[in-house]
Amino acid sequence: MNFIIIGNGVAGITAARLLIQHVPPGSNVLQFTSEPYGYYARPKLPQFLGDNKQTPESMMIYAKDWYSKSNIQLHTNEKIHTIKRKEKKVVSDKGEYEYDKLLLALGASCACPPIPGLELEHAYTLRTLTDAIAIRGQLEKSHSVAIIGGGLLGIENAIACAKRGIKTTIIEFFPHLLPRQLDPEGSAIFTQLLTKFGVETITNAQVKEILGTSKVESVQLKDGRIIKADLVMTCTGIKPRVELARKANLDVNRGVIVNDFLETSDPYIFAAGDIAEHNGRVYGIIPPTTEQGRVVAENMVTSRSREYHGSKISTTLKVADLFVSSIGYDPKQEEYPSLKYENKESTEYVKFFHENDRLKAVILLGTKKGIPHIRKMFDEPLSHHRAKLEEIFPGIA
CATH superfamily membership of 314-392: FAD/NAD-linked reductase, C-terminal dimerisation domain (3.30.390.30)
The string of pLDDT tens digits covering residues 55-95 is 999 999 999 899 999 999 999 999 999 999 999 999 999 99
Average pLDDT, the chain: 96
CATH of domain 2-109+238-301: 3.50.50.60
Sites in the chain below the pLDDT cut of 50: none
**Fold match between 2-109+238-301 and 314-392?**
no
Report d(CA 244, CA 106) in Å as an integer.
Answer: 9
Q: Could you tell me if 274 and 283 are in contact, meaning their C-beta atoms sit under 8 angstroms apart?
A: yes
Instruction: Measure the CA–CA gap between 42 and 290, rounded to whole angstroms.
Output: 13
Where in the chain are the domains? Answer: 2-109+238-301, 123-234, 314-392
Domain at 123-234: CATH code = 3.50.50.60
So what's the pLDDT on residue 312? 87
How far is Cα 89 from Cα 76, in angstroms, rounded to an integer? 18
The string of pLDDT tens digits covering residues 152-181 is 999 999 999 999 999 999 999 999 999 999
The whole-model pTM stands at 0.94
- Residue in 59, 37, 34 with CA at minimum distance from that of residue 46: 59
